[in-house]
Amino acid sequence: MDLKLDKQRFIVCGASSGFGEAIARQLINEGADVVLVARRGNLLRDKFSHYEDQTTIIEGSILYDDTLKKIEKSVQKKPFHGIVLNAGGPPTGTPLKTDMADWDAAWQLVMRWKIDLTLRLAPLLVENKYGRILFIESQSVKQPLPALTLSNSFRAGVVGFAKSLALEIADKGVTVNVLAPGSHETPAIERVIKNNSSLKGVSYDKAKEEMVANIPVKRMGKAEEIASLAAWLLSPHSGYVTGQTISHDGGSIQGIFG
């Protein structure tokens, strides 16, 4: 299928590894131009050195206003068509093992910057009467995960924001959706496996084996698989899909609307 992304322009946050990197590569392969955002600029330059004509690198933490201003400036110079809001998650922990400093930090890491950047950029998409906004969250927004209290809480808040925004701008040609990935073979899964290993008193390998056994398809997902779905949601083909939270989890969510 031709996704009709040739010469379109997207911002991808957290593009140096995991889902962000895979989505950026998929968009580039579809002919799109991509603004790559990550703290590790050297890693971006190494990984995307063959695509200099299709990429712009913004090095910096999305937690800092200076980085958000750089992103905002990049789209004011040249039109863009969508944004992928993606970043790592907060530390693990059960509710009573957290303190308010943990909550304040998680708010900044998981939710605040996404709202801030969206409020800066969504009006530009509305003005152009076309755009795609895609949040990469977690299956925990549908089924909370053990000992991931901070992630469970703030990612659910992001979904509430995304749904509200989708309703507000649905008639402006701009869609807003959320991808809710389950366990994938990315660096981010390591902290979850380590946490499970600690909680259950088993080895890392045993904890990973048990995690895979609980996935109905009996394997973890690949970043390239979710990237294909993300690319479709970012394409003109997805214009009738908005306000949705779509699982990509190998069948892990037990609810009827999983």
Q: Is residue 252 part of a domain?
A: no
pLDDT at residue 125, as a whole number: 98
Q: What angle do CA 187, 67, 106 make, to 5 degrees?
A: 50
Q: Is residue 258 part of a domain?
A: no
Q: Are residues 178 and 81 in the same domain?
A: yes
| Helix-helix angle 18-29:223-233, to 10 degrees | 60
Q: Is residue 204 part of a domain?
A: yes
- Backbone angle region of 9, left / alpha / beta, with phi > 0 → left and psi within -120 to 50 → alpha: beta
Show Cβ contacts of residue 167 under 8 Å, excluding neighbours closer than 6 positions.
243
Cα(231)–Cα(138) distance, integer angstroms: 18
Q: Are residues 123 and 200 in the same domain?
A: no
pLDDT at residue 207, as a whole number: 87
Q: Are residues 141 and 196 in the same domain?
A: no
Q: Are residues 191 and 177 in the same domain?
A: no
pLDDT at residue 147, as a whole number: 85
Joined tokens for residue 136: 């990469």
At 57, is the secondary structure helix, strand, or coil? strand
Distances in whole angstroms, Cα of residue 90 to Cα of each of 22, 124, 144, 149: 21, 30, 14, 9
- Number of domain units in the chain: 2
Q: Are residues 238 and 206 in the same domain?
A: no
> What are the beta bridge partners of residue 85?
135
Joined tokens for residue 142: 């549908």
The residue with tokens 């400036």 is 73
Q: Are residues 80 and 206 in the same domain?
A: no
Domain that holds residue 200: 184-220
pLDDT at residue 71, as a whole number: 97
- Backbone angle region of 129, left / alpha / beta, with phi > 0 → left and psi within -120 to 50 → alpha: left
pLDDT at residue 196, as a whole number: 81
pLDDT at residue 126, as a whole number: 98
Q: Provide the CATH number for the domain around residue 62.
A: 3.40.50.720
Q: Are residues 52 and 139 in the same domain?
A: yes
pLDDT at residue 246, as a whole number: 98
Show Cβ contacts of residue 219 under 8 Å, excluding neighbours closer than 6 positions.
212, 250
Q: Are residues 135 and 73 in the same domain?
A: yes
Distances in whole angstroms, Cα of residue 162 to Cα of each of 128, 178, 243: 20, 7, 7
Helices (H), 94-253: 100-106, 113-128, 149-169, 189-200, 204-213, 223-233
pLDDT at residue 64, as a whole number: 97
Q: Are residues 79 and 203 in the same domain?
A: no
pLDDT at residue 193, as a whole number: 86
Q: Is residue 255 part of a domain?
A: no
Q: If the chain, 258 residues long, is cut into consecutive pieces of 10 residues, what is the mean pLDDT of each piece?
A: 96 97 98 97 95 96 97 91 96 94 98 98 97 97 92 98 98 98 89 81 89 93 97 98 97 89
Query: Torsion angle, CA of 50/52/56/61, rounded to 10 degrees?
Result: 40
| Helix-helix angle 149-169:113-128, to 10 degrees | 20
Q: Are residues 188 and 231 in the same domain?
A: no
> What are the beta bridge partners of residue 176?
133
pLDDT at residue 189, as a whole number: 84
